[in-house]
Chain A
Amino acid sequence: MTFARLIAPALAIIAVAGCAQVPSRVDPLEPMNRGLYQVHDVVDTNLIKPIAQAYVDVVPQLVRQGVSNVFNNIDDLFSAVNGLLQGKPDKAGDDLGRVMLNTLFGIGGLFDLATDLGIERGGEDFGQTFAVWGLPSGPYLFVPLVGPTTVRDGTGLLVRIGLGPVGYIPDVPLRNSLYGVGAVDLRAQALGAGELVDTAALDRYLFIRNAYLQRRNYLIHDGKPPRDPEDE
């Protein structure tokens, strides 16, 4: 509900601007989303992507890997929580083991020893947990700066951000810097995928939407999604 309130103003503005499009089951808000995608694309192309590219060009790979590892280590803890919420104790155990190993012996998560030892990341999040609990995905959404999501996944993301830990850091400049570094780290990791979309897509909005939805469906089913009858 919070999420819907958050995007309601944007919805109102852009729904008006949207032209007639054939509505799809998964994306009833397509006209609005396309508008938001265009906003995102302008900001991303002119600001976010160049920053991420500069980050990759200037900061050595080893340091960038360390930054990713620290954020991943925190996410692994939440993955463990979500693994438990989904009734997957084995996966949760792996994630918890990863966090303990990497925090204690990997200098607070700077090094990812667990992956080197062959313990894979669970990669569970609140959006997947909601799905496993049977909540519907709700309409697809494209949120500028956040990217593709759904009402369900977006709510999961808000829950995740609400739980911190970065949000609980009292020092505001430090908190904002950490949010910034986290965002740049994520965007930098997606640079290669962005190049691929630019080459592959006929319509980047649709390409991203479908890839996102397929990917989420795959993750929700732990890599074994049911086959789409239309593909047979």
Chain B
Amino acid sequence: MLRQTRPMRSVAALGLYVAMMFAVARPAWAQEAPDALVKRVSQDVLTTIKADPLIQAGNQARIREVIEAKLLPNFDFMRMTALAMGKNWRTASAEQQQRLAEEFKSLLVRTYSGALNQYRNETIEYKPLRANPGDTDVTVRTAVVKPGGTPVQIDYSMEKKAEGWKCYDVVVGGVSLVTNYRDEFNEQIRNGGIDGLVKTLSERNRGVAAK
């Protein structure tokens, strides 16, 4: 590079410049800061829900579609399931892990769509992100404010991965939606092994009531 002739150098410089332009423009998606990501996705989901006549009429299936299209790609369900399982995660086979993550995902989607169904005229406050530029694990803090009500803190634990920031835990008013399951998962595994847990999860997702 250093020994190239002048015209070659300017071509190389141009090439470098173009490459840089691409580098800046293309992964703008992947480079998006975690708090910006949370804000963009939440606003997108909420405006879609407000504008959709089917959802306003209480169509649960439609809410789930929106969640699956807009929300789910930003979550790391393998990590969430591993976190909920604790020590038991390592005793599960790769295939069991895959199934557990699928079922846990469905359960969380059902829960989340139920919660969104109660959403009326709340607004979301986005707190300033307290993190260092090199951090790969951050917490994005938000608060859901209901007119005249006490705000509910919702924190998103985010991890930086090759394909961008992924959420691996949602903490609502101090309650982690993921670790809250640990004792329940342990109990199922104690009673019926990993397959017992898979079975219970899939039953719950098919609408069988909990005890």
A223 CB contacts on chain B under 8 angstroms: 153, 174
- Name the segment of B11-19, B40-48, B110-118 touching the other chain: B110-118
Nearest 8 pairs between A and B by C-beta? A218-B174, A200-B111, A202-B184, A214-B175, A211-B175, A199-B114, A206-B184, A201-B210
A-B contact pairs, 14 of them (CB 8 A): A115-B148, A120-B151, A201-B210, A202-B210, A203-B187, A206-B183, A206-B184, A209-B183, A210-B180, A211-B180, A214-B180, A219-B174, A223-B174, A231-B83
The range of chain B's interface size is 20 to 34
Pair A215/B175 contact, Cβ less than 8 Å? yes
Pair A202/B200 contact, Cβ less than 8 Å? yes
Shortest Cβ gap from B193 to chain A (Å): 15
- Say yes or no: is B176 at the interface (Cβ < 8 Å to chain A): yes
| Residues in A lying within 8 Å of B, measured CB to CB | 22, 24, 65, 112, 115-116, 120-121, 123, 192, 195-196, 198-204, 206-207, 209-211, 214-215, 217-219, 223, 225, 228, 230-231
Interface of chain B, helix or strand or loop or mixed? helix
Pair A202/B118 contact, Cβ less than 8 Å? no
A202 CB contacts on chain B under 8 angstroms: 181, 184-185, 187-188, 200-201, 204, 210
One digit per residue, 1 when the CB lies within 8 angstroms of any chain A CB and 0 when it does not, for chain B 148-159 equals: 111101000000
| Residues in B lying within 8 Å of A, measured CB to CB | 83, 86, 107, 110-111, 114-115, 118, 148-151, 153, 173-177, 179-185, 187-188, 190, 200-201, 204, 209-211
Pair B174/A204 contact, Cβ less than 8 Å? no
Pair B210/A203 contact, Cβ less than 8 Å? yes
Question: Which of A195, A199, A211, A219 has its CB near the most chain B CB atoms (within 10 A)?
Answer: A199
Question: Which of A196, A203, A217 has its CB near the most chain B CB atoms (within 10 A)?
Answer: A203
Pair A200/B86 contact, Cβ less than 8 Å? no
Pair B174/A24 contact, Cβ less than 8 Å? no
Pair B211/A203 contact, Cβ less than 8 Å? yes
Q: Which residue of B lies closest to A62 (CB)?
A: B148
Pair B180/A123 contact, Cβ less than 8 Å? no
Question: Which of A65, A123, A211 has its CB near the most chain B CB atoms (within 10 A)?
Answer: A211
Question: Once bound together, how far apart are the Cα atoms of A223 and B111, in whole Å?
Answer: 24
Shortest Cβ gap from A120 to chain B (Å): 7
A195 CB contacts on chain B under 8 angstroms: 114, 118
Shortest Cβ gap from A215 to chain B (Å): 5
Pair A218/B175 contact, Cβ less than 8 Å? yes
Pair A225/B174 contact, Cβ less than 8 Å? yes
B150 CB contacts on chain A under 8 angstroms: 115, 120-121, 123
B115 CB contacts on chain A under 8 angstroms: 196
Pair B175/A196 contact, Cβ less than 8 Å? no
Pair A218/B184 contact, Cβ less than 8 Å? no
Question: Once bound together, how far apart are the Cα atoms of A169 and B205, in whole Å?
Answer: 50
Pair A196/B111 contact, Cβ less than 8 Å? yes
Pair B151/A210 contact, Cβ less than 8 Å? no
Shortest Cβ gap from A182 to chain B (Å): 17
A217 CB contacts on chain B under 8 angstroms: 174
Pair B187/A206 contact, Cβ less than 8 Å? yes
Shortest Cβ gap from B85 to chain A (Å): 11
Question: Which of B180, B182, B204 has its CB near the most chain A CB atoms (within 10 A)?
Answer: B180
A231 CB contacts on chain B under 8 angstroms: 83, 176, 179
Q: Which residue of A lies closest to B115 (CB)?
A: A196
Given A215-B173, A225-B174: A207 in contact with B184 (beta carbons within 8 A): yes
Shortest Cβ gap from B165 to chain A (Å): 19
Q: Which residue of A lies closest to B143 (CB)?
A: A120
